[in-house]
Amino acid sequence: MSETANVVEVSQNDFQQQVVEKSRELPVLVDFWADWCAPCKMLLPVLLRLAEEYQGKFRLAKVNTDVERGLAEQHGIRSLPTLRLYRHGEVVEEMLGAQPESTLRELLDNYIERESDRSLEQALALAAEGRRADAVELLARAWEEDPGNLRLPLEYARLALEDGQLERAGKVLDELPRELRSSPQATSLRALLDMARATEHAPSTEALQATVDADPDQSEARYQLAARRLLEGDYDQALEQFMELLKRDRNWGDGAARKGLLAVFELLGEDDERVGRYRRQMFALLH
C-alpha cells in the first residue's frame, strides 16, 4: 500500500501525532489489521476508495498489528479488523469486522465538516443576536442545498418554532429524515409545537395565571399556562404547572401533562437536578 497524505501507516512512535493530534484538524479513521486477516483484505479496497473520493476530508491511518503488537495491546485490540474513528483527540466511534461501504460513508459523514455546517454555525450566531428570522432563512437554504446533512433539520425546526413560524416548523418536523423522526429531540420539538399551537390564541400569561388561581381545576387554562411558561423559558414554573395538572387531571388532553413534563425533561437534560426530582414525582403519581 502506497502512503499518501490521506492514507498513512502509523506506529507506536507516531500514533499520537498522526492520529490523536491530527484528529483535532479532521476525522482520522484508524484501521487495525493484519496480513493473515481475510476480512481485513476485503475491507482495504473500500477504505482506500473512500480515502481517495473524500479528497482529504478525513485521514485513513493503518496499523499493522503483527508489526505493532505493543500498540495493538495498548489499545485493547481483540478482533480484526477493528475500526476506530478519532475526532478532537478522542475515539468517537468503533466498528468491529468488515463493514459495507454504505455504513462507512454514514459513519464518516457524521463527522466530516460540510459547507452547510458553516451555514448552521452562522445561523446559530444570528439567532444568538436575536435575528431568528434571518437564521431560519439561512437554514432553509442550507437544507435545500444539502438535504443529506442530518445536523440541519432539527435546528431549523427549533429556530422556526422559536420565531413563531409554527407552520414552517411543523412542515420541517413532518419531513424529517427517517433517522431523526424518533429521536428524543424530535419528540421534544413536536411537543413544543403542540404547546405553541395550543397557546397561539390563548389569553395572556397573566390572565391564565388569574384563571387557575380562581379555579384550580381549569385544566385547559393550566395546560396553556404551563405551555406558555415553557415557551418563555421559565422551566421551573412550567414543571410546577404540568405537575399540578398531572395531580388534578392526569388524563386530560390524552395525557398532556405527562407529555409536557417529558418535553421539559428533554430540554433540561438528565444532568439537571430538577429532572430527577420531578421524574420521581411523576412516577409516584402514575404508579
Sign of the Cα pseudo-torsion (115, 121, 125, 130, in order): positive
**What does the angle CA 78 – CA 81 – CA 85 come to, to the nearest 5 degrees?**
95
The residue from 29, 40, 126, 243 that is catalytic is: 40
Helix, strand, or coil (residue 100): coil
Torsion of CA 182, 84, 147, 194, to 10 degrees: 20
Helix axes 38-54, 101-109, angle to 10 degrees: 50
The whole-angstrom separation of Cα 131 and Cα 153 is: 18
Q: How many CB atoms lie within 10 A of CB 75?
A: 17
The residue from 10, 28, 37, 61 that is catalytic is: 37
Active site residue 40: yes
Q: How many CB atoms lie within 10 A of CB 208?
A: 24
ω before 81 within 30° of 0 (cis)? yes
Which residue intervals of the chain are DSSP H helices?
Answer: 15, 38-54, 69-74, 101-109, 115-128, 132-145, 153-162, 166-174, 184-199, 205-214, 219-231, 235-249, 256-268, 273-286
Residue 103, all three cell numbers: 455504513
Residues assigned a catalytic role: 37, 40
